[in-house]
A and B are shown apart, each in its own frame.
Chain A
Amino acid sequence: DDEEAPKDEL
Chain B
Amino acid sequence: MNLFRLCGDMFHLLSIMVLLLKIRATRSCRGISLKTQELYALVFVCRYLDLFYSFISVYNSFMKVTFLATAFSIVRYMRYDKVVKQTYDREQDTFRYVFLIAPCLLLALVLNHRFTLTEVLWTFSIYLEAVAILPQLVLMQRTQNIDNLTANYVALLGAYRGFYILNWIYRFATERHYRQWIVWISGVIQTALYADFFFYYALCWKANKRLQLPA
Contact = CB atoms under 8 A, between A and B. Distances in A.
A7 B68 CA distance: 17
Given A9-B5, A10-B67, A3 B60 contact: no
Contact of A5 (B60, B64, B67, B183): B183
17 contacts: A2-B113, A2-B180, A2-B181, A3-B179, A4-B114, A5-B113, A5-B180, A5-B182, A6-B177, A7-B54, A7-B56, A8-B56, A8-B57, A8-B60, A9-B5, A10-B12, A10-B67
- Dominant secondary structure at the A interface: loop
A9 B57 CA distance: 11
Interface residues of A, number: 10
Interface of B: 5, 9, 12, 50, 54, 56-57, 60, 63-64, 67, 113-114, 122, 164, 167, 177-183
Contacts of B167: 9
B53 to A, nearest CB: 11
Interface of A: 1-10
Contacts of B60: 8, 10
